[in-house]
Every structure is written in structure tokens, then in C-alpha cells.
Amino acid sequence: MLRIALPHKGRLAADVRDLFRDAGLEVRGLGDRALTASLGDEFQALFVRAADIPEFVADGAADAGVTGWDLVCESERPLARRLDLRIGRCRLVVAAKDDGAVDSVDGVVEGTRVATSFPRLTRRFFRDRGRSVSVVPVSGATEVAPLLGIADVVVDLTSTGSTLRVNRLREIGTVLESTACLVTRAADEGARDGRARALDELASALGSVVAARDKRYLMANAPRARLADVQRILPGLNGPTVVDLLDGGGLVAVHAVVEAGAVYRSVAALREIGCEGILVTRIERLTP
């Protein structure tokens, strides 16, 4: 049974559990405090800190793991990103005081104190830009460091920027953008054994859920004479599927996968050309 390291708490942990459940791999454990649980019949979940997951996978304690790409990059361990799960989206940014003189990364002078819980990424970011800064490692509440006088600049995670603004900080640069991802050891890339096949199947199952989340399945009865217009409105994955209706007369059934954000305009456009019986539904899994 392959071991998959998953975050043990927080919003990311809940989102990851939902994703695995939708892929048919529901977490079945002995309780909320359990450190392990079954994931279907082939996998075992190990619940650990998100920051520790790169180490667990790289050292072989887990066969794969789900954690933020920011934590993978900070670990500097030889890991491969097998699948972007498109959840837990955030940015690692450089921020300075609102009322300070620093308004860009180029304005960060030699010796500037930079507080962060990502010291490796921070050093690399400034080193690549020819800046020698003094990194002040902190374990939390990075945004208060300038207020306490222990740093002049911070490198911190943000999703909306609201916490930085509340603490009178402004973004002056982006170190990286991050989402949760499925990672495996880089050395395992290209393997063709049973373990590798199981991990491929896991990535495929999760990927089918991720691919479906921003798609919708649309069905409508359309005038046969307007099929060229239907194809323009509903390009779908490979164009709409057209099916004859029993006693449909001049109408045919069209089915297509559309972007969720385009549904409103697509339905309006279909109605304009005489389509009726329009139905839109969510898709649980999508494997192109």
C-alpha cells in the first residue's frame, strides 16, 4: 500500500480531502486525531505538517505528497511536481513599509534586514538580483516584524494582500506564485514498475477532478439549420456532439463541455438562435 503524505490541518487540509474524495479516494480513518488513514484500497494517508511533506517524500517515508509549491521550493529537495492541483493559490511577495523609502526591489540596499519564514528562497531571490541582505528567520506573524523594529522588509505569503495592508505594508516584488501540488521524488521520474503505475493512476484520478472543476456540461435542443452557429458558440473540447432527436423535426440535441465562466454568455447566445431545453450541469471528473 503506497503512502501519501497530506496536510494534517488548516484550510488546505480540508480542500485536499475534498479533492481526494471527489476522485473516489475518500479518507477513512479512526478519528480526527489519527495520524494515518486509508485512501481507497491502494493508498494510505499520512497526516503531517505541510512544511514537512517535502522531507517525507524526499526521504522515502512517503511515496508521494500534497503540499504547497512554495514549501517544495523552500526545501530544495529533489522533488518532481506531478500535478498542479490548482488549490491553495497564493504568492510569496516582498513587502516594505508604506511610509518607508523602499518602493521597489531595486531600492533594497545592501545589508537590509529581511524577515521571513522562507530564508532559502529569500536569499536566492536577492542574490539573483545582486543584493546582499541580512535574512531574519521567523516562524510566524512575519508582517509584524517591521512594526517591532526587527526587520525593514518582509518576504511573506499572501493571497489577497489584505493582511499586509492592515499592517501598513506594500508589495514591491513577487518571489514566486504557488498552488498545492502532488509531488514525488525526482529520481522516480520515468520508472515503470507497479509503484510508478499506481502513482500515475493517482495523478490521473486527481487530474480528472481538477480538470472538471472549471467546466460545465451543456445540453440543448438546437435548430438543425443553425448548427454552424452552435459550433461557433459551443466549441467544446472537440466541438459539440450532435444527436438526432426521435420525432425532433428540425431540432437536434447538442452536447458540449464549456468553461464555467462562459456559461452565462453561451446560454444567452444559444437562446438567440432558437435553442430550447437548455440544461447545464456540473462535471465530477473529466479525462480528455
User: Domain with 207 in it: what CATH number?
Assistant: 3.40.190.10
Distances 279 to 134, 137, 209, 216, 226 between C-alpha atoms, Å: 59, 54, 21, 10, 18
pLDDT band at 68 (very low <50, low <70, confident <90, very high): very high
- Model-level pTM greater than 0.85? yes
Residue 194 lies in a domain: yes
Amino acid identity of 39? L
pLDDT at 188: 82
- DSSP annotation of 245 reads P
pLDDT at 30: 63
**CATH classification of the domain holding 229:** 3.30.70.120
Once rounded to an integer, what is the mean pLDDT over residues 32-52?
89
| Shared domain check, 230 and 249 | yes
Q: Which residue has the cell 533594497?
A: 108
Taking the C-alpha atoms of residue 21 and residue 51, their distance in angstroms, rounded to an integer, is 23
Of residues 140 and 72, more confidence is placed in 72
pLDDT at 249: 84
Taking the C-alpha atoms of residue 176 and residue 67, their distance in angstroms, rounded to an integer, is 15
The contacts of residue 132 (CB under 8 Å, 6+ apart) are: 110, 111, 126
Query: Residue ranges of the alpha helices (H) in 90-223?
Result: 119-128, 145-148, 162-166, 194-212
Taking the C-alpha atoms of residue 156 and residue 173, their distance in angstroms, rounded to an integer, is 11
Q: pLDDT (tens digit, 9 = 90+) per residue, 193-223?
A: 888 999 999 999 999 999 999 999 999 999 9
Tell me which H or E stretch contains 265: helix 263-272
Residues 113, 211: contact at Cβ < 8 Å? Answer: no
178, three cell numbers? 504557488
| Shared domain check, 204 and 226 | no
Does position 51 have pLDDT exceeding 90, yes or no?
A: yes
pLDDT at 134: 96
First to last CA, the chain: 28
Residue 80 lies in a domain: yes
Among the residue ranges 66-80, 169-183, 229-243, the one predicted with the least confidence is 229-243
| Shared domain check, 125 and 24 | no
Does position 106 have pLDDT exceeding 90, yes or no?
A: yes
Q: pLDDT (tens digit, 9 = 90+) per residue, 9-18?
A: 889 999 999 9
Does position 248 have pLDDT exceeding 80, yes or no?
A: no
Instruction: State which residues form the domain around 193.
Output: 2-88+179-212
Residue 249 lies in a domain: yes
Taking the C-alpha atoms of residue 206 and residue 24, their distance in angstroms, rounded to an integer, is 9
105, three cell numbers? 526591489
Residue 288 lies in a domain: no
Q: Which residue has the cell 479518507?
A: 27
pLDDT at 286: 93
Q: Tally the domains of the chain.
A: 3
Taking each helix axis from N to C terminus, what angle separates 194-212 and 11-22, rounded to the nearest 10 degrees? Answer: 100
| Shared domain check, 191 and 81 | yes
- Give the end of a domain, one of 160, 177, 194: 177
Q: What proportion of the chain, given as a percentage, has pLDDT over 70? A: 98
Q: pLDDT (tens digit, 9 = 90+) per residue, 135-164?
A: 999 988 899 999 999 999 999 999 998 999
Neighbours of 31 (CB within 10 A): 6
Does position 237 have pLDDT exceeding 70, yes or no?
A: no
